[in-house]
Structure 1
Amino acid sequence: MISIRMSRPDEGNRAIEIWRLAVDATHHFLAQEDRLAIEKMVATFLPQAPLWLAVNGNDYPLAFMLVEKGHMEALFVDPAYRGVGIGAMLVRHGIAQHPALTTDVNEQNLQALGFYEKMGFKQTGRSALDSDGRPYPIIHLQFTGIERSHAQ
């Protein structure tokens, strides 16, 4: 059974581990030096961030989501638990709190883009560079409707 709760201060290392595993499994487009620079930045703020965690029946974190002012800043799922609905559960939790939830996704991360579109997000814009000025285009998304069924 998966449940969602807020993170505790002692779970920062697990959050970084989830981030690292997820990025290594999905962000093959990142140059190694950029990947390392981003991890260094993430390690400075993620442990203190107010994260929503998806935890298993033993209260072990499997995924996390960070939402600030109606914008989903991060959604990362441990790759060992991808594809079973944990990410969707977290996104639905975010939408319940912020019906016009927005997020950004790397244009090169086609799986994530498809996931968000299936969840009911629509593209609202594009930036040629990421928020740190790196050459990784960003697609801006906003939740605008009902999830698409698997049949569509």
Structure 2
Amino acid sequence: MKIEKAHPHHYAELLNVWENSVRATHDFISEEDIAFFKPIIIEQAFPAVSLHYAKNIDNIIIGFVGIHENKIEMLFVIEAAQGKGIGKLLLQYAIDNYAVNCVDVNEQNPNAVGFYQHFGFQVTSRSPLDDLGKPFPILHLSR
């Protein structure tokens, strides 16, 4: 599977991946939270990072990673493709091509925390609120 650079015309499809993944893995996030975050993701978060995606054999985006400097700002994989190596592929791409060595993860998403720890990331600190001041504790990891 090949990783490709995303462009603004991919944003709608990437947002669908984000929403599908969040619904599958972030059971602590409400429908109101999803509605709140969607415009921020597409209007602010996507343009602020270097986005790269993976497609399946049907040419549908199934996962993406957003990178800023040496940090993964977002990594999401659709529910149907989780546990099949797509996240690992995107993470390895970020490490190999951007020297990524840090990531922030929702503390309430233990699968994501375990995923990054499996690849050598360790918790270095914790914030009780997310970047927007919402009560979603964030773990800061580095490798």
TM-score by length of 2: 0.91
Q: CA RMSD in A?
A: 1.7
Runs of 4 or more consecutive aligned structure 1 residues displaced over 2 Å after TM superposition? 31-35, 45-50, 56-60, 97-100
How big is the shift at 1:99? Answer: 3.5
How big is the shift at 1:91? Answer: 0.3
Match of 1:65 in 2: 65
Q: 2:39, 2:53 → 1: CA distance?
A: 21
1:124 maps onto 2:124 in alignment: yes
Paired letter, 1:29: F
Match of 1:20 in 2: 19
How big is the shift at 1:34? Answer: 2.3
1:11 maps onto 2:4 in alignment: no
Match of 2:105 in 1: 105
How big is the shift at 1:100? Answer: 4.9
Moved more, 132-141 or 56-65: 56-65
Deviations 1:6-48 (A, max 9, x none): 0133211110100010011111112332222112211323564
Deviations 1:103-139 (A, max 9, x none): 0000000010011101111111100111111111000
Structure 1 residues 9, 98: closer, same or farther in 2, change over 3 A?
A: closer
% of aligned pairs identical?
Answer: 34
Structure 1 gaps of 5+ residues are: 144-152
Match of 1:74 in 2: 74
Paired letter, 1:44: E
Structure 2 gaps of 5+ residues are: none
